[in-house]
Amino acid sequence: QRASGSRHKRQKRKIARKPRGYWLVPSNQRSFFDEFAKNNNIKQPNDWSQVSYQQIVKAGGASIIKQYTSLSSTLEHLYPECDWKGVTIRNRVPNNYWEQVENQRKFFDEFAVRHSITSYNDWTKVAYQKVSEEGGRSILKLYPSLLSALQASYPEYNWNPKDFKTRAPNHYWEDMENQRKFLDDFARKHELREPSDWSRVTYWQIVDEGGGTLLKQYPSLVAALEAIYPEFEWDISTTRSHVPQSYWKDPSNQRKFF
């Protein structure tokens, strides 16, 4: 376009610089990659999986590859006759790609196809590690758990934490806020309105509903309640405490009770 644009100087010793617009021509692009393939002993599509982006740049292909989004899309464009399915070219998603929920969902969609996941129930059996090692690490890093990642991608499902081997974050239960939140929910669910109502609750009932690690912070349920709800009076006698096995079979214990 510029009038002076076509002025050309003598080439430097090494690589002969191509004329302006040369790399825009597909046939030239293709011959570059043909040449590259020959020099690097690339015989079939899968051989490209060993090639790095920087190798192409070093060989002088930067201006070609920049016209496409990645090495893989460059190859797919230039060699449409080849079957690129199952060939993993060394490239990666654009920066900040995974912040988009649609992209996360796309990943999980493809993951689902690979593992024949067709229902909610199938998702409950998916291991965190599988997702991680199949390229989901970056997504998982954005969420505190696999479950919450799935929730974000598929809000249309009614995700129930009980169905998943999801875990509280490390040290979660050391925080009294979290302990209190759990017991608040527990109380609401079981309609426990005042301290004496807790006498209906057993240690193992709480463990059963996911409070095991909370209770581990304390020597007993009563101790937990006293610490978490210091504003209440916790009369020991109102809260059942667990007794040794066969405790009540012993007449002297029975007698002691009365």
Interface pattern 149-168 for DNA (x via CB under 7 A): ----------------xxxx
Q: What is the DSSP string of 109-174?
A: HHHHHHTT--SHHHHTT--HHHHIIIIIHHHHHTSSSHHHHHHHH-TTS---GGGTT--PPTTGGG
We find the least distance from the C-beta atom of residue 241 to DNA, in angstroms, to be 8
Among the listed residues 7, 244, 255, 256, the single contact to DNA using CB under 7 A: 244
Of 20 and 92, the one with the shorter C-beta distance to DNA is: 92
Q: Counting contacts by CB under 7 A, is residue 204 touching DNA?
A: yes
d(CA 96, CA 100): 8
d(CA 97, CA 111): 17
Helix (H, G, I), strand (E, B) or coil at 69: coil
d(CA 195, CA 197): 5
We find the least distance from the C-beta atom of residue 200 to DNA, in angstroms, to be 13
Interface pattern 65-84 for DNA (x via CB under 7 A): -----xx-------------
What is the binding site for DNA (CB under 7 A)? 52-54, 70-71, 90-99, 127-129, 133, 135, 137-138, 140-141, 143-147, 165-174, 202-204, 207, 210, 212-213, 216, 242-245
